Structure 1
């Protein structure tokens, strides 16, 4: 729904989330980001780090919108990487790479991968912006694509929104794969890796939530975490 060509000209409900994303990226970029890393989950049911192509297209979703972050070859881009690459071009973010993790990766392994990512960020002389792309629940309204509204999905999605909005790393780390899968939530892995990456660095975090809603019954939240007293 972020990509206008896919959402369609009559999908007015998608404009607020695009505006929120645009503002969040602009605010973060204004702090002097040298490079961006897109963190997301794979489409394939695998575990661990996933190497993907640096370019791709939304053709399988109905419109051949092409995007890229590099000339790296490999398996096709996951949806999270496609969105990250589209955001890079749409918001003119500059140098960008991807860090894709298998969607079946356990919370414990996410913690390890996040700590590794945090160490890499800490070692870099650059100011790095981590762009986390994750899917909220698909069952938040009666006409939602995940089979309509479920109270359990609404409750879990609201808890995730609260955790992201408050930079509650422990709450994100405690998300269970089974519950997220049941409620159509695909962003667990990305959020858990991001939380572990930030927590491993031991710096203060200033969270700011700018949007949370469910256009077409799908959960969207836009937030920024500013790591205080640090380069990125």
Structure 2
């Protein structure tokens, strides 16, 4: 069964080779992500990764490889095998491969949900995954309308939603995640579909959450958290 979960964002700035000079906040974010995924590797050498992408629903096996060439550098990553890099591999899968390599995990399988997937289907996927003997990595970000640095016009609803997400991740509050408003999340850029897999994973046992990072350094809110089953 899954006993360890990590939630991390998936911006290209996590790739050192894509950043000419990383500032202190970038290093903090990368460090928190590495801590989170290293805890997964301590739990299991094989992960399931869940994210959201327009290409979904789609599954990528551990034989898959890709490249960040579309983001400016031909940085190649693998989900565990030695296949030829697919230049069309979606960003969440690329980040999954990067984090796998950084943490030293053996293999990851990536499941990408389509935007708009109903909450019940997301939860059902979590229930399906809960019985596997792997660790779970969830790729999700907060709002992209928090302040004047955001890629979209600031929205007063962003900060309350970001606060709610951070608290839910810190407290293993599955009910709050399950109740996320699909329309609000879509308008504010939150991939709630990935987050709504989590309620299906933690239906049994006692879980402890730890929020390793929560900030909006470049106009997009990033949360990094781990959930660990204790009983």
Pair 18,10 (structure 1): closer, same or farther in 2 beyond 3 Å: closer
**Residue in 2 that maps onto 1:67:** 77
Match of 2:164 among 135, 159, 175: 159
Instruction: Tell me the CA shift for residue 94 of structure 1.
Output: 2.1
Q: Cα deviations across residues 137-158 of structure 1 (Å, max 9, x unaligned)?
A: 11122121123x3221111111
Larger deviation, residues 71-80 vs 168-177: 71-80
Q: 1:38 aligns to what SS in structure 2?
A: strand
Instruction: Tell me the CA shift for residue 11 of structure 1.
Output: 4.0
Match of 1:137 among 136, 140, 143: 143
**Residue in 2 that maps onto 1:228:** 230
CA distance in 2, matches of 1:5, 1:116: 36
CA distance in 2, matches of 1:62, 1:177: 33
Q: 1:26 aligns to what SS in structure 2?
A: helix
Instruction: Tell me the CA shift for residue 185 of structure 1.
Output: 1.4
Match of 1:37 among 48, 58, 73: 48
Instruction: Tell me the CA shift for residue 197 of structure 1.
Output: 2.0
- Alignment check: 8 A CA contact 2:143 2:188 kept: yes
- Alignment check: 8 A CA contact 1:166 1:208 kept: yes
**Structure 2: runs of 5+ lacking an equivalent:** 1-12
Stretches of 4+ moved more than 6 A in 1? 72-75
CA distance in 1, matches of 2:182, 2:84: 31
CA distance in 2, matches of 1:173, 1:75: 34
Provide TM-score, normalisation by structure 2. 0.84
Q: Cα deviations across residues 189-232 of structure 1 (Å, max 9, x unaligned)?
A: 11111221222xx1111111111001111111111000123xxx
Q: Cα deviations across residues 89-148 of structure 1 (Å, max 9, x unaligned)?
A: 1222222222222222111211222211223x2xx4xxx22111112211122121123x
- Alignment check: 8 A CA contact 1:205 1:225 kept: yes
Higher RCO, 1 vs 2 (CA within 8 Å, ≥6 residues apart): 2
Aligned length: 215
Pair 75,101 (structure 1): closer, same or farther in 2 beyond 3 Å: farther
- Alignment check: 8 A CA contact 1:39 1:98 kept: yes
**Structure 1: runs of 5+ lacking an equivalent:** none
Provide TM-score, normalisation by structure 1. 0.84
